[in-house]
Amino acid sequence: MAAERTTLRIGLAGLGNVGAGVYKNLEKNRQLLTERTGAHLEVRRIAVRDLARARDVAVPAEMLTTRWQDLVEDPSLDIIVELIGGVEEARALVTAALKAGKAVVTGNKALLAEHGKELIQLAEQQNKPLYLEAAVAGGIPIIKAVREALVGNHINAIYGIINGTSNYILTRMTTLGLSFEDALAEATALGYAEADPTLDINGWDAGHKAIILAWLSYGHWLRPAEVTVTGIENISLTDVGFARRLGYEIKLLGVIRQDGGGLVEARVQATLIPKKHILASVSGVFNAVAVHGDVVGETLFYGSGAGQDATSSSVIADLADAAENLSNELGSNGFIPHGDTGKAKPIEDTVSQYYLRLRVADTPGTLARIATLLAKRNIGILSVIQPDPEEGDTQSSGTAHLVLTIHDAAFGNMRAAVDEIEAFDCTLEKPVLLRMETLGS
Ligand code: HSE
CATH number at 379 reads 3.30.70.260
The CA distance from 246 to 213, in Å, is: 30
Whether the pLDDT of residue 342 is over 80: the answer is no
CB neighbourhood size of 232 (10 A)? 23
pLDDT value of position 289 = 98
pLDDT value of position 329: 54
Q: 166 and 281: one domain?
A: yes
Q: Which residues of 300-327 are buried (b: 16+ CB within 10 A; e: fewer)?
A: ebbbbbbbbbbbbbbbbbbbbbbbbbbe
192, 13 Cβ separation under 8 angstroms? no
Please indicate, yes or no, if residue 218 is contained in any of the structural domains. Answer: yes
What is the rounded distance in angstroms from the CA atom of residue 281 to the CA atom of residue 167? 11
Q: State residue 109's pLDDT score.
A: 97
Give the pLDDT band (50/70/90) at residue 334: low
Give the tens place of pLDDT for each residue, 293-307: 999 999 999 999 999
- 312 shares a domain with 253: no
- Burial bucket for residue 381 (CB in 10 Å: 0-12, 13-18, 19+): middle
Q: Based on the fold, state whether residues 15 and 35 are members of the same structural domain.
A: yes
Question: What integer is the mean pLDDT of 256-274?
Answer: 95
The atom of ligand 1 lying closest to the CA of 166 is 5
CA of 308 to the centre of ligand 1 (A): 10
Is 376 part of any domain? yes
pLDDT tens by residue, 396-415: 678 889 999 999 999 999 99
**Residues 173 and 260 both lie in one domain:** yes
pLDDT of 336 > 80? The answer is: no
> Percentage of the chain with pLDDT > 70?
93
Q: Is residue 319 part of a domain?
A: yes
- 23 within a domain of the structure (yes/no): yes
> Same domain for 296 and 152?
yes
DSSP 3-state of 204? helix
The pLDDT value recorded for residue 345 is 96
**Residue 47 within a domain:** yes
Q: Which residues of 191-224 are buried (b: 16+ CB within 10 A; e: fewer)?
A: bbbbeebebbbbbbbbbbbbbbbbbbbbebbbee
Q: Which residues approach ligand 1 with their CB closer than 6 A? A: 138, 163-165, 192-194, 200, 205, 305-306
Q: Look up residue 440 and give its amino acid.
A: G
Of residues 434 and 363, more confidently modeled: 434
pLDDT tens digits along 198-234: 999 999 999 999 999 999 999 999 999 999 999 998 8
pTM value is 0.94
Residue range 262-276: mean pLDDT, rounded: 96
What distance in angstroms lies between residue 382's CA and the mean position of ligand 1's atoms?
35
Mean per-residue pLDDT for 233-239?
A: 89
Can 376 be counted among the known catalytic residues? no
Dist. CA 141 → ligand 1 center (Å) = 14
Domain total in the chain: 3
Task: Using the mean position of ligand 1's atoms as its centre, give its distance from the Cα of residue 7 in Å.
Answer: 31
**What's the CA-to-centroid distance between 93 and ligand 1, angstroms?**
22
Pocket test for ligand 1, best of 140, 170, 194, 314 (most atoms within 8 A of CB): 194
Task: Please check whether residue 336 lies inside any domain of the structure.
Answer: no
- Can you give the pLDDT at residue 99? 97
Separation between Cα atoms, residue 99 and residue 87, nearest integer Å: 18
Dihedral sign computed on CA atoms, order 365, 366, 369, 375: negative
- Which one from 102, 109, 209, 345 is the annotated catalytic residue? 209
Q: Are residues 150 and 124 in the same domain?
A: no
Residues 147 and 295 in one domain: yes
Atom of ligand 1 nearest to the CA of 165: 5
Residue of 200, 287, 312 best suited for mutating to test ligand 1, as the one with most atoms within 8 Å of CB: 200
C-alpha to C-alpha distance for 208 and 110, rounded to whole angstroms = 6
Ligand 1 nearest-atom number relative to CA 193: 1
Range with lowest mean pLDDT among 166-180, 332-346, 356-370, 397-411? 332-346
Ligand 1 pocket mutation, candidates 132, 162, 165, 308, criterion most atoms within 8 A of CB: 165
What is the spatial distance between Cα 172 and Cα 59, in angstroms, rounded to a whole number? 36
Is 24 in the same domain as 109?
A: yes
For residues 282 and 413, membership in a common domain is answered with no
Please compute the mean of the pLDDT values over residues 322-334 and round it to a whole number: 67
Domain encompassing residue 98: 6-138+308-327
- pLDDT for 324 equals 87
Do 215 and 319 fall into the same domain? no
Indicate which residue's Cα is closest to atom 4 of ligand 1.
306
- What single string gives the DSSP state of each residue in 99-151? HTT-EEEE--HHHHHHHHHHHHHHHHHHT--EE-GGGSSTTS-HHHIIIIITT
pLDDT of residue 177: 85
Answer whether residue 342 is part of any domain: no
Name 250's bridge partners: 272
pLDDT at 333 over 70: no
Q: CA 406, CA 69: separation in Å to the nearest integer?
A: 55
pLDDT score of 327 more than 80: no
Closest-lying ligand 1 atom to the alpha carbon of residue 206: 6
Where do runs of H (alpha helix) occur along 190-285? Answer: 198-201, 204-218, 237-245
Residues 299 and 427 in one domain: no
Give the side-chain half-sphere CA count within 13 A for 313. Answer: 14
Of the candidates 27, 4, 3, 2, the residue with the CA atom closest to the CA atom of residue 78? 4
Predicted local distance difference test score (pLDDT) of residue 4: 45
Nearest-atom number in ligand 1 for the CA of 138 is: 7
Note the pLDDT of residue 144.
94
Mapped onto helix, strand or coil, the DSSP state of residue 66 is coil
Is there a single domain that holds both residue 171 and residue 283? yes
DSSP string, 280-332: GG--TTEEEEEEEETTTEEEEEEEE-SSHHHHHHHHHHHHHHHHHHHT-TT--
* Ligand 1 atom 7 nearest Cα: 306
Report the separation in Å between the CA atom of 56 and the middle of ligand 1, taken as the mean of its atom positions: 20
Whether residue 340 is contained in a domain is answered as no
